[in-house]
Amino acid sequence: IKRSFSSSAVRNVVIKNVTIIGGGQMGAGIAQVAASTGHSVTLVDMTDDILKKAMKGIQSSLRRVVKKTFSGDPESGDDFIQKVMQNVSTSTEPSAAIATSDLILEAIVENMKIKQDLFGFLDKMAPEHTIFASNTSSLPISDIASATSRPDRCAGLHFFNPVPLMKLVEVVATTSTSPETSESLLNFTKALGKTPVCCKFLNPCLVCPGHPWVHRHASKEDIDTGMKLGAGYPMGPFELSDYVGLDTIKFIMDGWSKKEPDNPIFAPSQLLNKLVAEGKLGKKTLEGFYKYN
């Protein structure tokens, strides 16, 4: 029996308990911000080692934040960090957390089939009121939601990297997303201290800089310098791609190129494909377009 959509039980969910699936750059950042604003967070990933690394990353990011916000009062800063860390638990087996979640947000690999499998699996376990959100950069939310029996309670919640600093969150509603779900997510993002904007689909805002036509005009160093000093970008396109992760950029570009095969902007980049095949994924592997120590 299919569940009925938008029953009274799912109206105006106040999001307090959050499960975040995927403890990489984005999942850890979102967990940090949600925990810092008093939400109870469970961060889920595939191994304890990944989760340990995520918790270490959250702690060091919090130290950077606290240095500014508690500059004259380091003791209160330490208390704050301790409280925030207490708001985050980790798990490789999420069923208990899911049973009490108001929101499940996925920030796993940018792959439709894997995201659909995850949402299909979670749908069977989560309470009726639970909202499902995806942090996808490029995949259609309606396709991910189609793996569930609750498309009215599915939406995109697109954060930007680094999450603790970037103010914007795109709240992506499909034609099936209920107004109550959108409202709950808008209230949640505001409670995180972010500025939400509502969208119907995600924009292809990142264009891979690895195309031959880009290199024909200047070196990557000169392009990055030009965009920073001439256009006011905080990072040039090569630096930013390394920061986002070249595997993620490749998933995004391949998705757009499939959708718009004749658009030269999305034509496959041999350089990007080569770097990804060599495991040079950017800052996270200490080498991408640039090398890092």
> In 3D, which of 22, 51, 72, 26 has the Cα closest to residue 165?
26
For residue 208, what are its two tokens?
Answer: 């891979």
Residue 291 vs residues 138, 184, 210, 242, 288: alpha-carbon distances, Å: 27, 42, 16, 10, 6
Q: Shortest Cβ distance from residue 52 to ligand NAD (Å)?
A: 12
Q: Which window, 59-67, 122-130, 189-197, 213-221, contacts ligand CAA (CB under 6 A)?
A: 59-67
Q: Is 162 near ligand CAA (CB under 6 A)? A: yes
Tell me which residues touch ligand NAD (CB under 6 A): 21-27, 44-46, 50, 107-110, 114, 118, 135-137, 159-161, 244-245, 248
- In whole angstroms, the minimum distance from the beta carbon of 121 to ligand NAD comes to 9
Q: Which CB sits closer to ligand NAD, 80 or 164?
A: 164
Q: Is 55 annotated as a binding residue?
A: no
CA angle 111, 191, 160 (to 5 degrees): 35
Pick what 44 binds: ligand NAD, ligand CAA, none; C-beta below 5 to 8 Å, kind-dependent: ligand NAD
Q: Verify binding: residue 204, ligand CAA, rule CB under 6 A.
A: no
> Do the Cβ atoms of 26 and 61 come closer than 8 Å?
no
Q: How far is the CB of 22 from ligand NAD (least distance, A)?
A: 3
Please report where in the chains the tokens 């499902």 appear, as a residue. Answer: 132
> Which of 23, 236 has the CB closer to ligand NAD?
23
Rounded CA-CA distance 58/162 in Å is 11
Q: Among ligand NAD, ligand CAA, none, what does residue 164 contact (CB within 5–8 Å per kind)? A: ligand CAA
Rounded distance between C-alpha atoms, residue 46 and residue 241, angstroms: 25
Nearest approach in angstroms of CB 11 to ligand CAA is 30
Contact partner, 266, from ligand NAD, ligand CAA, none, Cβ < 5-8 Å per class: none
In whole angstroms, how close is the CB of 96 to ligand CAA at the nearest point? Answer: 29
Q: 133 exposed, middle or buried (CB, 10 Å; 0-12, 13-18, 19+)?
A: buried
Could you tell me the maximum CA-CA distance found in the chain, to the nearest angstrom? 60
Q: Considering the rule CB under 6 A, would residue 144 count as an interface residue with ligand CAA?
A: no
Q: Is 36 annotated as a binding residue?
A: no
Whether the upstream peptide bond of residue 209 has omega within 30° of 0, thus cis, is: no
Counting Cβ atoms within 10 Å, is residue 94 exposed (0-12), middle (13-18) or buried (19+)? Answer: buried
Whether residue 282 is annotated as binding a ligand: the answer is: no
Taking the complex as a whole, the smallest distance from the CB of residue 140 to ligand NAD amounts, in Å, to 13
Binding to ligand CAA (CB under 6 A): which residues in 214-273? 234-235, 240, 244
Residues 6+ apart with CB under 8 A from 262: none
Pick out the residues of the known binding site.
22-27, 45, 61, 68, 110, 115, 137, 161, 284
Site of interaction with ligand CAA (CB under 6 A): 61, 64-65, 68, 137, 160-162, 164-166, 206, 234-235, 240, 244
